[in-house]
């Protein structure tokens, strides 16, 4: 019994270390494995035992379909990936159809992660792509008759169809999954994907951004306080993305020129944008507090903050300098997911997102406003003030002016509307 619990504990650590399951899902996978191992073993092949186990769960009537699929997934990960049992597929025929054989999906996940880092994809993109690839393998493992892990173009097409038809995901989510699987097929599996693009990429119609009026923006900012209020002011005053605001470093604030320098923004591009005068004094006071926190970290001999590319190796002490410290540091320490070092990271974007959501409710704003709405409002209000569209494009960091042109449609709606002909008719009749 003790050996079983030790094995299950190691399995739980394996799930978290390899990210084959989300942290909140891992305990349930461990519980399904424990439930399976508690049953008496038989002489039939292991894959057939798992199939019988899932059928028994279905006959009991206490579990819904997704729970049975989760149990099947837990056992496959436990025996195939964790224990690497060679007898899993003894009674199963090899797949046909020209797919790429994948004896170990975990190895594919690691290859995808390696290729993403080689191409300098962002950490967030890496996490998103890995998550979609993991979901894809979960889908393959639960398909009827898909006992051996293999991938073909038809499998990719079926998975994207499943997302659209059964899961009802949005067009943007479907295209995101498509991009992740396309990267896996091209860079890892070397699959021929000719003809896949026009059939599975979702079409998304034009959308107008949600924009607050000037009084609504004032009400929103007035309902906030502290660091969240300062962050919201910088996002609205400089047109920052939420990640760009969280990742600001002290050296990127230029009080004399009134500029904020965004480093390695979306598309790995640098740009300069406006530092609002209304936020400068509050920002100076905030940075004094940040300097105190930085001094405490240095006295505690903590590792320096994360540095991009190879700067940490080239300049070993740069991460300990105040200039490289975060403008909005986290109040707690965390482990760097790539380096495995305990250090201070920047504040999570969820902090400002939750603060803005609460402020929207408090201000009585009924629009579906979010943090990104402040960036939209920045561009729209500049257009209303007569600022050139090309200059706004540079502030926002758009590669094409066509992307910025969407705000011209919003401005047209915010300007004084035309008089309805019915109103004019009633005026004449008076």
Reply yes or no on whether 139 is catalytic: no
Rounded to the nearest 10 degrees, what angle do helices 171-184 and 153-165 cross at?
160
- For 343, phi and psi rounded to 5 degrees? -155, 175
CB atoms within 10 A of CB 154: 12
Residue 375 annotated in active site:
yes
CB 180 within 8 A of CB 108: no
Q: Does residue 338 contact residue 198 with C-beta atoms inside 8 Å? A: no
Q: Which H, E and C letters describe 106-117, residue by residue?
A: HHHHHHHHHHHH
| Cβ contact 346:330 at 8 Å | yes
Q: How many helices (H) and strands (E) does the chain have?
A: 20, 7
Angstrom distance (rounded) from CA 160 to CA 37: 34
- From 134, 229, 241, 344, the catalytic residue: 241
Q: What angle do CA 382, 386, 388 make, to 5 degrees?
A: 80
Is-catalytic flag, 266?
Answer: yes
Given the residues 78, 178, 395, 407, the one annotated as active site: 407
Angle at 29 between CA 27 and CA 33, to 5 degrees: 115
Who contacts 249 (Cβ-Cβ below 8 Å, separation ≥6)?
263, 323, 324, 325, 326, 327
Instruction: Tell me the DSSP string of 87-106.
Output: TTTTT-PPP-SSPEE-S-HH
84 is catalytic: no
Cβ-based neighbours of 71, under 8 Å, separated by 6 or more: 32, 35, 36, 53, 54, 57, 63
Exactly one of 375, 376, 381, 395 is catalytic; name it. 375
Beta strands at 271-274 and 329-335: parallel, antiparallel or unpaired: unpaired
407 tagged catalytic: yes
Q: Which of 35, 266, 280, 320 is catalytic?
A: 266
Q: How far apart are CA 218 and CA 216, in angstroms?
A: 5
Comparing CA positions, the residue from 373, 371, 375, 370 lying closest to residue 396 is 375
**Contact status, residue 216 vs residue 356, Cβ threshold 8 Å:** no
Give me the active site residues, please.
241, 266, 372, 375, 398, 407
């Amino acid at each position: 019994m003790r050996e079983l619990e030790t094995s299950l504990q190691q399995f739980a650590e394996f799930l978290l270390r390899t990210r084959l399951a989300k942290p909140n899902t891992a305990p349930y996978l461990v519980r399904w494995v424990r439930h399976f191992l508690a049953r008496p073993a038989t002489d039939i092949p292991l894959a057939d035992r798992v199939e019988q186990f899932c059928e028994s769960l279905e006959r009991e009537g206490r579990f819904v379909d997704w729970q049975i699929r989760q149990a099947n997934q837990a056992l496959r990960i436990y025996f195939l990936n964790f224990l690497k049992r060679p007898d899993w597929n003894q009674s199963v025929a090899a797949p046909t159809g020209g797919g790429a054989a994948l004896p170990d999906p975990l190895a594919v996940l690691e290859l995808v992660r390696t290729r993403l880092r080689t191409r300098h994809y962002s950490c967030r993109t890496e996490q998103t792509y890995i998550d979609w690839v993991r979901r894809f393998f979960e889908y393959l493992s639960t398909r009827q008759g898909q006992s051996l892990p293999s991938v073909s173009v038809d499998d990719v097409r079926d998975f994207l169809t499943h997302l659209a038809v059964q899961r009802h995901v949005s067009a943007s989510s479907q295209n995101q999954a498509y991009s992740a699987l396309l990267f896996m097929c091209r860079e890892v599996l070397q699959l021929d994907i000719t003809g896949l693009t026009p059939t599975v990429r979702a079409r998304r119609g034009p959308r107008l951004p949600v924009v607050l009026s000037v009084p609504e923006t004032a009400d929103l900012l007035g309902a906030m306080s502290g660091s969240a209020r300062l962050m919201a002011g910088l996002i609205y005053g400089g047109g920052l993305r939420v990640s760009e605001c969280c990742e600001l470093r002290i050296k990127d604030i230029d009080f004399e020129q009134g500029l904020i320098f965004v480093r390695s923004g979306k598309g790995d591009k640098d740009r300069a944008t406006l530092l609002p005068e209304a936020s400068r004094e509050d920002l100076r006071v905030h940075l004094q507090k940040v300097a105190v926190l930085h001094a405490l970290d240095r006295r505690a001999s903590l590792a320096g903050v994360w540095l991009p590319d190879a700067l940490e190796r080239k300049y070993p002490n740069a991460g300990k300098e105040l200039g490289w410290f975060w403008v909005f540091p986290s109040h707690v320490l965390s482990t760097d997911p790539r380096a495995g070092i305990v250090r201070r990271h920047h504040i999570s974007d969820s902090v400002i997102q939750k603060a803005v959501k609460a402020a929207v409710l408090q201000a009585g704003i009924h629009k579906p406003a979010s943090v990104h709405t402040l960036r939209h409002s920045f561009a729209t209000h500049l257009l209303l003030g007569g600022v050139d569209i090309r200059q706004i494009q540079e502030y926002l960091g758009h590669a094409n002016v066509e992307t910025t042109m969407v705000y011209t449609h919003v401005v047209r709606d915010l300007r004084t509307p035309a008089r309805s002909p019915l109103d004019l008719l009633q005026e004449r009749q008076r």
